[in-house]
Homo-oligomer: A and B are copies of this chain.
Amino acid sequence: MARIVMKFGGTSMAGIERIRNVAARVKREWDAGNQVAVVVSAMAGETDRLVGFCKEASPLYDLREYDVVVASGEQVTSGLLAITLQALGVPARSWLGWQLPIHTSSAHASARIGSIDTDALNASLADGQVAVIPGFQGLAEDNRVTTLGRGGSDTSAVAVAAAMKADRCDIYTDVDGVYTTDPRIVPRARKLSKVTYEEMLELASVGAKVLQTRSVGLAMKEGVRVRVLSSFEDAQDEGGHRGTLIVGEEEIDDVERQLITGIAHDKNEAKVTLTNVPDRPGAVAHIFGPLADAGINVDMIVQNVAHATGSTDVTFTVPRAELARALDVLGKAKGPIGYDTLIHDTKIAKISVVGVGMRSHAGVAATMFDTLAERRINILAITTSEIKVSVLIHEDETELAVRVLHTAYGLDAPEGEAA
């Protein structure tokens, strides 16, 4: 017997036919004698519909009421899955966020899970009942409904798994696992059977949108073993695994360990350059302080060597969706910063080479730069971390860069075994 959390996204819950498919998967785990909690998203499109209502009601909607409105989508699918499971002879009941409860911060629309009461849940599981829990929702201290922000159901699932000390948290999606890179770009991309939390964090945050970043961070912190797998296929890889297991480094033995796990790309960033910023202490604080105050995420930062004139150019990236706000903030701060001109470019892409093996191996960055140089791909900026090297390039060269790097690091699947 194992304790398992299964999470199903909006595509898997879109309509009763698909919910029946989900129920059949849940029944299989329950039939095997496991204790099962299921975390569900709203039907695909439903959250958008509800958000649309809020925006139509008032562009400046109250986030507390927004949470009341949008949390209803997962409430509906929870009840429907419980009914569907019962129809298959599986005892099941729904537990809404306020019923368990799932305690969260009071940051409405982007709340963080604090703790989850498990007494009632554990009793129900011990009784052989499947618990169906709406993802994305919780309860603030003042007894009001909260939601975790878009994609929050992954985080709910991991938090429930941590609270009930589950053996595994299976995230069912519309892809069958995590790949070495985007198979739409590189047909010979390979599915990974295991990946570490750290690698997954880098792969997720740089564009491999399989799991919500926050959920991976939480899984790492709580040591929850997460598996990503398809809710529409049952294909296993040659090792007999379904999907990709996301675990701690200690669970990956040396034979399995790769130098490089994957190549990610991200076209959602924009580049901003401030020219001739005075090269004096505190100048950079004048730039990034106001951006931080405005809640704008800054990613890659490059500061050139000071010009002979005592000034320097500062380049960084921000999410494209936040570019207009960033330019506004920087325009207003022109005086305190003292720059000459403000230049931006949205036709860029970030390419990242990720792998925990990189730590113990020099030359990863050199291979990257050589490979790109051979194809005359110009590098606009570089950042590195312990397990990642990222470069900024022109957007048009994204696919070429990903393809040549995938080959250069030996990630291509053998001929005929492509994804």
Contacts and interface: CB of A to CB of B under 8 A. Distances in A.
A267 interface: no
Contacts of A69: 75-76, 79-80, 83
Contact of A19 (B19, B57, B79, B86): B57
A86 B62 contact: yes
A56 to B, nearest CB: 4
A56 B69 CA distance: 24
Interface string A49-85: 0100110111011101111110111011011101110
Interface residues of A, number: 39
A72 B71 CA distance: 9
A98 interface: yes
A398 to B, nearest CB: 40
A67 B86 CA distance: 15
Contact of A83 (B62, B80, B94, B143): B62
B64 A68 contact: no
Interface string A227-255: 00000000000000000000000000000
A72 to B, nearest CB: 4
Contacts of A16: 53, 56-57
A99 interface: yes
A76 B50 contact: yes
A93 interface: yes
Contacts of A66: 79, 83
A58 B66 CA distance: 31
Interface SS of chain A: helix
Given A62-B82, A98-B98, A68 B75 contact: yes
Interface string A1-44: 00000000000000010011000000000000000000000000
Given A62-B82, A80-B53, A68 B87 contact: no
A260 interface: no
A98 B87 CA distance: 28
Interface string A204-236: 000000000000000000000000000000000
Contacts of A368: none
A169 interface: no
A53 B68 contact: no
A51 to B, nearest CB: 11
A96 interface: yes
Contacts of A145: 96
A93 B64 contact: yes
Contacts of A83: 54, 57-58, 61-62, 65-66, 69
A58 B79 contact: no
Nearest to A69: B79
B82 A65 contact: yes
Contacts of A96: 68, 145
Which 5 residue pairs are nearest across A and B when measured between Cβ atoms? A68-B79, A58-B87, A69-B79, A72-B72, A65-B79
19 contacts: A16-B57, A53-B76, A54-B79, A57-B80, A57-B87, A60-B87, A61-B86, A62-B82, A65-B80, A65-B86, A65-B93, A65-B94, A67-B79, A68-B76, A68-B94, A69-B76, A72-B73, A72-B76, A96-B145
Interface of A: 16, 19-20, 50, 53-54, 56-58, 60-62, 64-69, 71-73, 75-76, 78-80, 82-84, 86-87, 93-94, 96, 98-99, 143-145
Given A58-B87, A65-B86, A68-B78, 18 more contacts: A16-B56, A19-B57, A54-B80, A57-B83, A58-B83, A60-B87, A61-B83, A64-B93, A65-B80, A65-B82, A65-B83, A65-B93, A68-B79, A68-B96, A69-B83, A71-B75, A98-B98, A99-B144
